[in-house]
Amino acid sequence: MLFALRWLQADQSKAPAGLFRSIVGLIDLPGVAVFSFALGSLLAFLLSLSTGPRWVLLPVAPISAVLLVWWELRARMLFLNVRMLASGRGLMGVYVQFTTVNLLFYSVFFSLPLWLEKVRGVGPGETGLIVMPLTGVGVLATVVAARLTRRWGPRPPLALGPRCSALGLCSSSSCSWSHRWPASWSLWPCSGCPMAC
């Protein structure tokens, strides 16, 4: 904002009257509010699991989701185009894949260090050194996944990613953590390959 204030020229003409009202009319404020309420209640419930589940929040998310769908089927300006999502399986597949990849990505980078420190007793410095190469594995696996996709389509990388994940998880659970570096190598395919595939 500072750069914009410093270098951008001011508008010469004044905004027409009622511009703010017309912009607000283009936004589905009730849809945004119900979506935020559904997501916020779900997150609040999940965060309460560590201290003591707030069970009263559990039914709020699905009820809000149903209310959101009901509203979006009747709204004039749409926040979430439910009809388009229901009719387009390809688009829905893209959203599900994007959500899954992000869930996996953030689970690895937030949960794996906690698991290494709390469960396996690895120190913070070693945990950082173990987790750091995952980025490199992800980059290399992306190159391999792109070549596989170009040659044989998306199915081989999608089949390979979960297998690498299962292999890494099984080997990291069964190996001896007295020698931590060999044990950590098993985590790299577990985490890097599925993110790329």
**192 with 137: CB under 8 angstroms?**
yes
By the 8 A CB rule, do 138 and 192 touch? Answer: yes
Going 177 to 179 to 180 to 181, the CA torsion angle's sign is: negative
d(CA 139, CA 106): 16
**Residues contacting 32, CB < 8 A, separation 6+:** 79
Contacts with 82 (C-beta within 8 Å, 6 or more apart), sequence order: 69, 72, 73
Q: List, for residues 135-185, the tens digit of each pLDDT value.
A: 777 777 778 888 888 888 888 877 777 777 666 666 665 555 545 555 555
Chain segment 96-146, per-residue pLDDT in tens? 878 887 777 777 778 878 888 888 788 888 888 777 777 777 777 778 888
Return the pLDDT at 92.
83
Radius of gyration, alpha carbons of the chain: 23
pTM of the model: 0.56
pLDDT by residue (tens digit) across 45-94? 988 888 888 998 889 989 999 999 999 998 888 888 888 888 877 888 88
H or E, element range at 148: helix 133-152
